[in-house]
Amino acid sequence: MGETTAGGLLGGRVRYRQYLSGHRSGFEPVLLAACMPAQAGERVLEAGTGAGAALLCLAARVAGVRGVGLERDAALARLAAENFRENGFEQVFSVRADATRLPFAAASFDHVMANPPWFDAAGTPSPDPARALAHQASADWIPGLVKILRPKGSITLILPAASFSPAIAALRAGCGGVTLLPLWPRAGVAAKMVIIGARKGNKSPDRVLAGLVLHDAEGITQEAQEILREGKAVAFL
């Protein structure tokens, strides 16, 4: 991958380096972290952490959270570890492993989050090998992620609206009370991305929340800015 670029998250509160080539972080990891119900001292896994953006945002908001970023690419796992250290998050680590073959015991984590691979394998892959690998679609991750959750632990995923049905079906094996948060590009425009979550062993009814409008005529909406730049939490699970 080679060259990295330096930038920031949460309005510059968090320093963040990522590779110039391959998958580049957008707003997804920031929104994903904002929806996590984690508290200080709880153990959180991010599957497919990349350079660690979501865990960085979560650790900046929830002091004392214990995070593990799982990443199968060795270079990305190293870069995530460097990002965690550079920001002084001593209880956040990266582990090199495949999310479909988790190296953790059952009931090891209080919370799990992921921005799963989401491009349809039948579609045209990216000519960038690293980007193509990051975007291979699969719901195969989900049962294993549920297995390592403690009872009543939460799982939160961000993914394209077109992919939420198989993801929810996979969550049914062990989780209930699925919550869906649409991410509207603009008011009155169909959502392209959604955030879904559930708790292990929960028997509550499913919910569809009002959703978050990301842009208006002035640019990023005030509500979205409070999350993306100021680190505000989203009332989700």
The predicted structure's pLDDT at residue 138: 58
- Predicted confidence (pLDDT) per residue in 184-196, tens digit: 999 999 999 999 9
The predicted structure's pLDDT at residue 117: 75
CB distance 104 to 148 below 8 Å: yes
Residue 145 tokens read as: 């992620």
Residue 15 tokens read as: 């320093």
| Residue whose token pair is 């972290």 | 33
Q: Extract the residue ranges of the chain whose pLDDT is less than 70.
A: 1, 118-138
4-228: what fold?
Rossmann fold (3.40.50)
CB distance 2 to 76 below 8 Å: no
Residue 154 tokens read as: 């939460």
Q: How far apart are CA 69 and CA 33, in angstroms?
A: 13
- Would you list the DSSP string of 26-47? -SHHHHHHHT----TT-EEEEE
Q: How far apart are CA 155 and CA 157, in angstroms?
A: 7
The predicted structure's pLDDT at residue 134: 42
The predicted structure's pLDDT at residue 135: 43
**Phi/psi of residue 109, each to 5°?**
-130, 150
Domain boundaries, the chain: 4-228
| Residue whose token pair is 């090891």 | 108
The predicted structure's pLDDT at residue 1: 60
Q: How far apart are CA 205 and CA 209, in angstroms?
A: 13
